């Protein structure tokens, strides 16, 4: 696949759609060589680096009690699908590459492949087009949605997890496989980026059973308002931290793997001290424009 020649024009269109709807899609953002390199590095991490003794299930109930999760803000940590585990023996029932849910949250800092991708010239152009003065990467994740066991992501606003004052938060989402209705593509409520963020995921003041908690009212969203964003492998989605989105479980036989990272504008906003994610041992908030 050729790198596209009219990238600047496409990014201008992307920025206009983003402003209007709170999210926007740009197909063919990555070349096939770039997709291959990222897929290979993702698989290498799963096969060679995933610590066997710390196979931690990913999911809200598990994350809130887990020091491994709480400490993952400035590390590279591995989380697995609940359905891939035998909960009695605590052994995986599937091969590791079909069981993994997520590698997170500081790949952009520690892994050269993901660092280069996240701070590339193309990514810089996207943030300049949407008006970011000093974008800093707060977190990055490879999200695997393996065939049959890949879990659902319930409707949420990303800024619930990564709050800033005032709110200048955006995410980049890169498809490593075709993301379809069948394997659980993203779904958005267009224009919901105009809504407030009332619910937040924060650190507690040190209860043993619960390290993190949700504060604020639960929201009920109108099912009929969600619009699917199907994207081919190599496509980019940019999303405002306030836009409501979700994705369905993967019940198909095709994987839906993606790389995503979240950014705040360090010039216009301050990262909140009670956000769940805090870099405590290393400053992993990487500037995108310093590259
Ligand atoms: Fe999200």
Distance of CA 245 from the midpoint of ligand 1 (Å): 6
What pLDDT score does 176 carry? Answer: 98
pLDDT tens string 69-89: 889 999 999 988 888 878 788
Distance of CA 208 from the midpoint of ligand 1 (Å): 27
pLDDT tens string 156-210: 999 999 999 999 999 999 999 999 999 999 999 999 999 999 999 999 876 667 8
Residues with CB under 5 A from ligand 1 (ion): 158
What pLDDT score does 217 carry? Answer: 95
Distance of CA 193 from the midpoint of ligand 1 (Å): 13
What pLDDT score does 81 carry? Answer: 83
Distance of CA 246 from the midpoint of ligand 1 (Å): 7
This prediction has a pTM of 0.94
Question: Helices marked H in 85-192 — which ranges?
Answer: 107-110, 112-118, 121-129
* β-strands 76-80, 56-57 pairing: parallel
What pLDDT score does 55 carry? Answer: 59
What pLDDT score does 52 carry? Answer: 67
- Tell me the pLDDT of the chain averaged across its residues: 92
What pLDDT score does 5 carry? Answer: 60
Q: How many helices (H) and strands (E) does the chain have?
A: 7, 19
Distance of CA 6 from the midpoint of ligand 1 (Å): 29
Question: Helices marked H in the chain — which ranges?
Answer: 7-21, 32-44, 60-63, 67-70, 107-110, 112-118, 121-129
What pLDDT score does 291 carry? Answer: 52
Positions of the chain with pLDDT lower than 70, given as ranges: 1-5, 52-55, 206-208, 291
How far from 149 is each of 81, 85, 100, 187, 202, CA to CA, in Å? 7, 10, 10, 19, 28
Distance of CA 168 from the midpoint of ligand 1 (Å): 15
What pLDDT score does 103 carry? Answer: 94
What pLDDT score does 1 carry? Answer: 45
Distance of CA 260 from the midpoint of ligand 1 (Å): 9
């Amino acid at each position: 696949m050729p790198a596209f020649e009219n990238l600047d024009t496409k990014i201008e269109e992307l920025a206009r759609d983003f402003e209007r709807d709170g999210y926007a899609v740009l197909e063919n953002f990555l070349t096939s060589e770039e997709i291959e390199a990222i897929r290979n590095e993702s698989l290498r991490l799963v096969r060679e680096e995933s610590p066997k003794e710390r196979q931690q299930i990913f999911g809200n109930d598990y994350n809130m009690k887990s020091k491994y999760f709480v400490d993952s803000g400035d590390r590279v940590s591995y989380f697995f699908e609940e359905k891939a585990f035998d909960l009695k023996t605590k052994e995986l029932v599937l091969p590791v590459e079909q069981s993994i849910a997520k590698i997170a949250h500081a790949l952009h800092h520690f892994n050269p492949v993901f660092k280069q991708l996240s701070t590339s010239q193309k990514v810089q152009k996207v943030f300049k087009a949407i008006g970011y003065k000093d974008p800093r990467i707060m977190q990055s994740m490879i999200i695997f949605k393996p065939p049959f066991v890949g879990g659902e992501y319930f409707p949420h606003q990303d800024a619930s997890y990564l709050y800033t004052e005032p709110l200048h938060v955006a995410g980049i989402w890169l498809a490593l496989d075709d993301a379809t209705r069948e394997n659980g593509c993203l779904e958005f409520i267009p224009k919901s980026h105009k809504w407030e963020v009332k619910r937040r995921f924060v650190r507690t003041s040190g209860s043993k059973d619960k390290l993190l908690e949700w504060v604020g009212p639960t929201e009920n969203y109108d099912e009929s308002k969600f619009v699917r964003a199907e994207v081919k492998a190599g496509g980019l989605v940019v999303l405002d931290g306030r836009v409501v989105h979700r994705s369905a479980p993967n019940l198909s036989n095709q994987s839906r793997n993606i790389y995503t990272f979240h950014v705040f504008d360090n010039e216009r906003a301050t990262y909140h001290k009670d956000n769940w994610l805090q870099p405590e041992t290393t400053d992993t908030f990487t500037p995108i424009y310093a590259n």
